Amino acid sequence: MRINAMAGAAAFVLCVGPAQAQALKFQPGEGAQFTWSSYDSFAAAHDLTGQVLTITGPWIGPDKVLVESVLAYFEAATGAQVNYSGSDSFEQDIVIATEAGSAPDIAVFPQPGLAADMARRGFLVPLDDETADWVRANYAAGESWVDLGTYADADGTEKLFGFFYKVDLKSLVWYVPDAFDEAGYEIPETMEELKALTERMVADGGTPWCIGLGSGAATGWPATDWVEDMILRTQPPEVYDQWVTNAIPFDDPRVVAAIEEYGWFARNDDFVAGGVQNVATTDFRESPAGLFTFPPECYMHRQASFISTFFPEGTELGLDADFFYFPAYAGKDLGTPVLGAGTLWAITADSEAARVFMEFLKTPIAHEVWMAQSGFLTPFAGANPKAYGTEALSAQGEILTSATTFRFDGSDLMPSEIGADAFWKGMVAYSSGEDAAAVARGIQDRWDAIR
């Protein structure tokens, strides 16, 4: 095993390549949507000529090109050379490299759980207090982002280790504008209005929702997102935090009630295309198809920003399909919570270049360059929203920056035996008719067994 680990670490190091090979995507000074003054100020303050910065993360293919388009500006501003390596087995590679003593300067984690584990093992370098203060002041729902990047170190002391950059949005409902217009439906702004609209659609002879939980070995995960969103809309964020760490049990009445909130939508034959029996067996990638039939098989589909990838070819967002915020209850006074995911950047080998790079991530230009292309959202209020390359991204960015609370996908924060197994399977069982309290109790029994 030791030989294999060292071989993997060697391969990991050899696959790096300089971001410098890519020319600047947008020329400094051009384009009013870019905050070039932040680039100029950063460049004037830092000279790293001759230094090399190594970064590894999960992005390969087109995403690797996108992140390197941002890294090129750090190189141009500082004179440093940046070597980025992407891997589709990042979670395994970073652990192997770190244990072998060949960690990169910076690692980009797609899940906080792995970063927290590495911090506990002493493999991450804490960020300074000024960075925590900066995030609180400059990110929408800033305290949420500080909490998500704060972990116990090897001595058990809580410190900020992770800086979130590039966020995904999950609290969205997709619909076809023409279908809404023809039926005379308006976008609901509260959960009360969304439920009333659901019932009105049925009264009008339509079917409100398309829901599909199928995902091969991961079947059930779309329902976990529903439940997570419902906890954030029925309970204070502290309850969510206690739930994902099992500080309160999975079968706590508040959690069971959130599961049943999901069931209000998913366990009513009149509300779901194909009836309740189709929810667990319909593939999540195929489930939005009913939006685009005529007449529509369903009017709404709750899913994350990435689901548009599975819309019919040629679908134009904003015209053929659009989205709205999955709303909060007006009567519960819990603000506008948002569920999502994202990547956090952490220092795995301390160096001057690594520290300066973390400062670079605080500049608007570091966000705007990627915003202007594709697949990037940021909670940074200082980045110019006009930099987004499409109206859809801009609208999603507005939802993100308007959030009063942001919470990371709960199943990704739980132990894998729970979040990536028992929770998924439990939601399939509940969607198929089992009692919510019994399902939640079974998941808690599983959690107790792994302690």
pLDDT per residue as tens, the chain (451 positions)? 222 333 333 333 333 444 444 589 999 999 999 999 999 999 999 999 999 999 999 999 999 999 999 999 999 999 999 999 999 899 999 999 999 999 999 999 998 999 999 999 999 999 999 999 999 999 999 999 999 999 999 999 999 999 999 999 999 999 999 999 999 999 999 999 999 999 999 999 999 999 999 999 999 999 999 999 999 999 999 999 999 999 999 999 999 999 999 999 999 999 999 999 999 999 999 999 999 999 999 999 999 999 998 999 999 999 999 999 999 999 999 999 999 999 999 999 999 999 999 999 999 999 999 999 999 999 999 999 999 999 999 999 999 999 999 999 999 999 989 999 999 999 999 999 999 999 999 999 999 999 8
The pLDDT, as a whole number, for residue 11 is: 36
The pLDDT, as a whole number, for residue 23 is: 85
3-state DSSP assignment of residue 424: helix
CA distance linking residue 352 with residue 48, whole number of Å:
8
CA dist list (Å): 91 to 60, 147, 193, 352, 410: 14, 22, 42, 25, 18
Look at residues 296, 10, 280, 6 and name the one whose alpha carbon lies nearest to residue 177: 296
DSSP 26: S
Look at residues 124, 105, 102, 126 and name the one whose alpha carbon lies nearest to residue 114: 124
- Residue 384, sorted as left (phi over 0), alpha (psi -120 to 50) or beta, turns out to be beta
CA distance linking residue 197 with residue 185, whole number of Å:
8
Q: How are beta strands 52-57 and 106-109 bridged, if at all?
A: parallel
CA distance linking residue 363 with residue 277, whole number of Å:
50
The pLDDT, as a whole number, for residue 58 is: 94
CA dist list (Å): 360 to 38, 176, 354, 363: 9, 40, 10, 5
The pLDDT, as a whole number, for residue 22 is: 56
The pLDDT, as a whole number, for residue 8 is: 36
The pLDDT, as a whole number, for residue 87 is: 92
Q: What is the CA radius of gyration of the chain?
A: 23
Exposed, middle or buried: residue 253 (CB in 10 Å: 0-12, 13-18, 19+)? exposed
Q: Tokens 């995507």 correspond to what residue?
A: 25
Domains within the chain, CATH numbers bracketed: 2-169+339-408 (3.40.190.10), 172-336+410-450 (3.40.190.10)
DSSP readout, 298-328?
-SBEE--GGGGGGSPTTPPBTTTBEEEE-PP
DSSP readout, 327-372?
PPPGGGT---EEEEEEEEEEESS--HHHHHHHHHTTSHHHHHHHHT
